[in-house]
């Protein structure tokens, strides 16, 4: 199985020893995205809603670079430093996804890189592409 490394300037550059995503056949494994603005590599300004939207925008950019869309995500993991923000994730996720929704997990964590309040990673399946 050949692996293809996915990279786009429309999402934050990797800030460690990882790729933005790796494609193996029709499956794409997307690395965790935090709410970094790609052009500045700084956390997005604003409240938690802005952070969540920025993460979804970053994930969308990587999905598109791999030849897919957010709707192709089959598994989404959400990491939050405050699980009290989980209802907000649900509300904002409905702006980005339609049914059928991907399988999902929400995990409370003590801390995230760069002091972010949210991080998400995903698995995308491109079907017969």
**CATH code: domain of residue 33:** 3.30.1330.40
Cα 55 to Cα 12: distance, rounded to the nearest angstrom: 10
The number of distinct structural domains making up the chain is 1
Q: What residue numbers bound the domain in which 55 lies?
A: 3-125
> Which pTM value belongs to this model?
0.96
Yes or no: say if 86 and 30 are a contact pair by the CB < 8 Å rule.
no
Mean pLDDT of each 10-residue bin along the chain, 129 residues long: 94 94 98 98 96 98 98 98 98 97 98 97 86
DSSP, residue by residue, 6-54: E--TTSPPP-SSS-SEEEETTEEEEEEE-SEETTTTEEPSS-HHHHHHH
């Amino acid at each position: 199985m050949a692996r293809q490394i996915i990279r786009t300037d429309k999402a934050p550059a990797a800030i460690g020893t990882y790729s933005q995503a790796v494609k193996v056949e029709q499956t794409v494994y997307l690395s965790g995205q935090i709410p970094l603005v790609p052009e500045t590599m700084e956390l997005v300004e604003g409240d938690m809603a802005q952070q969540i939207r920025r993460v979804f925008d970053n994930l969308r950019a990587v999905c598109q670079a791999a030849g897919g869309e957010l709707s192709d995500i089959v598994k989404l993991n959400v990491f939050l430093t405050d699980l009290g923000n989980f209802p907000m994730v649900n509300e904002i996720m409905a702006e980005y996804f339609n049914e059928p929704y991907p399988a999902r997990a929400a995990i409370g964590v003590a801390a995230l890189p760069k002091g972010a309040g949210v991080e998400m990673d995903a698995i995308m399946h491109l079907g017969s592409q």
